[in-house]
Structure 1
């Protein structure tokens, strides 16, 4: 059965199999996606997230998210409205920003499922290690785009794939909830299709300006 890209709807090509999971690559947007029939059901997905040890007081975790935290502190004011999209059970970035008197709300379909937050507009939306979890990336990106103010920004963190990476040995695919991987070409596709003004890629830190 043909696999259609869940980001751009284009038919995908088989890419690789690893750890009893099959992956497809889209020739249009260049994303790599898990076979849609192998996606976890919501109950099993939440069980996997419940095993994450995201202690908001952990200094190592705070350091890991610091590219986003430092960017917000250096580019936005305390009066700007932010949204932590996919905040998870331990929203460390929100805590660090709120400790500095920043105004930021938390949304997560499992842990902070307040859909009303998605009907508001924000100066910045952050998603730290979240976009690789999108089972339905098109609808997720649509929701984020709709909630981003004009001149606002999306600030993401994820690991990008490129052809120098040995996919079989790549650690990032091993998490069962990591179901879509992006390349620089994929990000350019997202920039163009959603009509963003600019895209900045700084290692794991990705910034779209609206």
Structure 2
């Protein structure tokens, strides 16, 4: 049995009968992660991202971020003047929309903006959208990001909340992306909030959660 990457409890192994991929599920915090033998290499991962059309030409993609800002950022705009988009992708849609809303936004992305511009800085908010499901060590990354959120600042994560049911999980579209290797739900995020002394400010019970440090 493998230890959970979030809470360090032992997990139970389960397998997708269609793909034969094996996953490890934690009954304590509900985190689920793909077994490492099924990870794609970095070259294939980058090639997969290169196919994404996440730009201002994609009106649905832009609308998603406009709605995110309106619902999760604008209510706290008096407190938010600086931001980091961690894992922004090459399209820079969210940073540009934030800057149009008078929030100065730095960019970081492992493949497209690899310079760690956040070193030595703190921000009013760090946003990481559709990133944490790709991470091999999500807890380590989360702890590192929190070092760069000012006291009283915010952390926003977007990652689809998994259905906590094996039958539904294996039918779930989100696991079909070969670069998606870790899956959260509200129980996972509540555990993280307790463990890292964060306050959950708001969530949509679907794919977005806002914490306050």
Q: What is the TM-score normalised by the length of structure 1?
A: 0.90
- For the Cα contact (< 8 Å) 2:82–2:124, is it kept in 1? yes
Deviation at 1:50, TM superposition (A): 1.0
Which residue does 1:129 correspond to in 2?
130
Residue 187 of structure 1 is matched in structure 2 by: 189
1:72 and 2:40 are equivalent in the alignment? no
User: In structure 2, what is the Cα distance between the partners aligned to 1:124 and 1:87?
Assistant: 14
Rounded to whole Å, the distance in 2 between the matches of 1:119 and 1:9 is 30
2:48 is the counterpart of 1:45? no
Structure 1 residues 49 and 100 mapped into 2: Cα distance closer, same or farther (>3 Å)?
Answer: same
Q: Structure 2 stretches of 5 or more lacking a match?
A: none
Deviates more, 1:89-98 or 1:64-73: 64-73
- How far apart, CA to CA, are the structure 1 residues paired with 2:155 and 2:2? 29
User: 2: distance between equivalents of 1:78 and 1:182?
Assistant: 28
* SS class of match (2:118): helix
Residue 22 of structure 1 and its aligned partner are, at CA, apart by: 1.1
Residue pair 1:3, 1:35 contacting (<8 A) in 2 also: no
Deviation of 1:80 after TM superposition, in Å, equals 1.3
The residue correspondences of 1:157-172 to structure 2 (distance < 5 A) are 157-163=158-164, 166-172=168-174
TM-superposed CA distance for 1:119, in Å, is 3.3
Aligned to 1:57: 57
- What are the equivalent positions in structure 2 for 1:98-113 lying under 5 Å apart? 98-113=99-114
Residue of structure 2 in register with 1:11 after alignment: 10
Number of residues of Structure 1 aligned to a counterpart in Structure 2: 209
Deviation at 1:77, TM superposition (A): 4.4
Question: What are the within-5 Å matches in structure 2 for residues 83-98 of structure 1?
Answer: 83-98=84-99
Written as runs of structure 1 = structure 2, the 5 A alignment for 1:135-150 is: 135-150=136-151
For 1:28 and 1:163, locate their aligned partners in 2 and report how far apart those are by CA, in whole Å: 12
